[in-house]
Amino acid sequence: MDKIKVLEVIQQGEIGGGESHLLTLLSKLDRNRFEPVVIALSDGEMISRLNAMGIKNYVVNSRLPFNFLVWKKMRKILEENSIDIIHTHGARALSNIIYPASALKIPVVHTIHGWSFHDYLPAWKRKLRIKGEKFLTGKTKMNIVVSESNKKIGIKEFGDFSCRVVNNGVDLAIYNRRDTGLNIRKEFNIPEKALLVSFVARFIHDKNPLPLIRAFKRAQQNHPGMYMLMVGDGPARSEAIQLAGELAINNHIFFPGFRSDVPAILAASDIFCLPSIKEGLPVSLIEAMAMGNAAVATAVQGCTDVVTDGVDGLLVKMEELESGLSSAMQRLADEPGFLQQLATEGRKTVERRFDAITMTQHIENVYLELLPGSGNI
């Protein structure tokens, strides 16, 4: 029988948390049953990876929500590929295909990788985004949230909100500690025994790279043998590099840009910091814990669904961001036994709750539920 044609629509072609999630999902998807096609709303590294995986893909450039100028192109892709089901990732992806999908009566499942609204937005903007996301999620056949926190927030803000919780997962065969990370340390001339902190994320202000640098400066003053790798690209990267220079710690912080060898970066690291304002369910944090890094994250939605403070990582309050990050780094530097304890428990947490194979099976089941008569394919 014919395979089920699944169209995955993602907000960008650059690699971020949602894109990492999608690549992992596609790598585990049962290709005997499903045939995936991908639309990205911008070009980037993800497109190269999809091509290497042999997955048909399109770039439909759109930086705007509800961009009616791309609807005709979206409809053409749906028709030419005889798409059976659409899976969108992020509000902008959903808003750009929901009307062509409705016109063709193709069911849509939508994954919320963290809400676009958060407590630190201006009140008017937050209200506008809540209305927009409530409208969009009401147009789908099924909504998936990646964490219990996101489910609770959706119910609180929308009232009537139906969803399925499917935690993000990582490939445990890739994220393990077989790699020692020595080649990474040699590349950046970081001593083998030095304490290495890593940050792997898009350089945007929601990820708080600048407060992290200031916190690292405070910690490094008391622990001069501490280093940090800040991996990724984005609009705030130039500011981050400038700040490191102003604080005279640019010989202890390195900014290699986007890297495709994240497992090796994490294997070289001892501590992973994610000081985000908000998260859905942070893939980078889960990857770091899988690699045996001691996790330090902000006590915000998404992060609190992964880390239990003092058990498998440390959580820092947003209102104490810089001092909290600095204190956490210094504590882990002072207590190597505690650092190792968090690292060990972090790996166990990922093995127990965030395996990519389990995640993919849950999502495949959603696809089958929405297509009556597909269970015997």
- Residues 244-261 have pLDDT tens digits of 999 999 999 999 999 989
Residues 282 and 327 both lie in one domain = yes
Residues 228 and 321 both lie in one domain = yes
- Residues 91-102 have pLDDT tens digits of 999 999 999 999
pLDDT band at 17, cuts 50/70/90?
A: confident
Mean pLDDT of all residues in 177-205: 92
Residues 326 and 265 both lie in one domain = yes
- Rounded Cα gap, residues 275 and 331, in angstroms: 17
| Cα dihedral sign, 355-361-363-364 | positive
DSSP annotation string for 277-326: S--SS-HHHHHHHHTTPEEEEESSTTHHHH--BTTTBEEE-GGGHHHHHH
pLDDT band at 120, cuts 50/70/90?
A: confident
On the question of pLDDT at 193 being above 70, the answer is yes
Query: Contact, 179 vs 264, CB < 8 A?
Result: yes
Mean pLDDT of all residues in 205-227: 97
Total number of domains constituting the chain? 2
Would you call 190 exposed, middle or buried from its count of C-beta atoms within 10 A (0-12, 13-18, 19+)?
buried
pLDDT band at 374, cuts 50/70/90?
A: low
**Residue 320 pairs with which residues in a beta bridge?**
none
pTM of the prediction? 0.89
User: Can you give the pLDDT at residue 251?
Assistant: 95
Q: Which residues contact 280 (CB under 8 A, 6 or more apart)?
A: 17, 18, 112, 113, 114, 115, 145, 146, 147, 150, 168, 302
- Residues 22-43 have pLDDT tens digits of 999 999 999 999 999 999 999 9
Domain presence at residue 283 = yes
Residues 223 and 152 both lie in one domain = no
Residues 205 and 346 both lie in one domain = yes
Q: Which residues contact 128 (CB under 8 A, 6 or more apart)?
A: none
Domain presence at residue 376 = no
- How many helices, marked H, and strands, marked E, lie in the chain? 15, 13
Domain presence at residue 35 = yes
Domain presence at residue 377 = no
Which one, of 184, 228, 227, 230, lies nearest residue 203 by Cα? 230
- 119 vs 351, more confident: 351
Query: Contact, 319 vs 120, CB < 8 A?
Result: no
On the question of pLDDT at 181 being above 90, the answer is no
Q: What is the CATH number of the domain that holds 230?
A: 3.40.50.2000
Residues 342 and 194 both lie in one domain = yes
User: Can you give the pLDDT at residue 1?
Assistant: 65
**Cα angle 67-68-71, degrees, rounded to a multiple of 5:** 105
- The rounded percent of the chain whose pLDDT value lies above 90 is 91
Residues 332 and 235 both lie in one domain = yes
User: Can you give the pLDDT at residue 373?
Assistant: 67
Q: 333 is written with which tokens?
A: 């530097």
Q: 55 is written with which tokens?
A: 């997955």
- Residues 310-326 have pLDDT tens digits of 999 999 999 999 999 99
- Residues 261-281 have pLDDT tens digits of 999 999 999 999 999 999 989
DSSP annotation string for 140-198: SSEEEESSHHHHHHHHHHHSS---EE----B-TTTSSS-S--HHHHHHTT--TTSEEEE
Half-sphere CA count of 362, side-chain side, radius 13 A: 19
Element (H, E) at 61: none
Mean pLDDT of all residues in 363-376: 82
Q: Which residues contact 210 (CB under 8 A, 6 or more apart)?
A: 236, 239, 240, 243
On the question of pLDDT at 375 being above 70, the answer is no
Average per-residue pLDDT in the chain? 95
Domain presence at residue 177 = no
Mean pLDDT of all residues in 132-148: 95
pLDDT band at 177, cuts 50/70/90?
A: confident
DSSP annotation string for 81-117: TT--EEEEESHHHHHHHHHHHHHTT--EEEEESS-S-
Domain presence at residue 27 = yes
Q: 29 is written with which tokens?
A: 């998807």
Residues 349 and 360 both lie in one domain = no
User: Can you give the pLDDT at residue 377?
Assistant: 41
b/e per residue, 194-205, with b = 16+ CB within 10 A?
ebbbbbbbbbbe
Residues 34 and 161 both lie in one domain = yes
On the question of pLDDT at 295 being above 60, the answer is yes
Domain presence at residue 101 = yes
DSSP state of 355: B
Q: Which range among 13-27, 217-231, 285-299 shows the weakest confidence by mean pLDDT?
A: 13-27
Residues 218 and 96 both lie in one domain = no
Residue type, 314: L
- Residues 44-91 have pLDDT tens digits of 999 999 999 999 999 999 999 999 999 999 999 999 999 999 999 999
Residue type, 109: V
For residue 226, the enclosing domain spans 182-353
State how beta strands 108-112 and 142-145 pair: parallel
In this structure, the number of other CB atoms found within 10 A of the CB of residue 347 comes to 20
Residues 300 and 190 both lie in one domain = yes
Query: Contact, 112 vs 150, CB < 8 A?
Result: yes
Residues 46 and 36 both lie in one domain = yes
In this structure, the number of other CB atoms found within 10 A of the CB of residue 292 comes to 21
Domain presence at residue 334 = yes
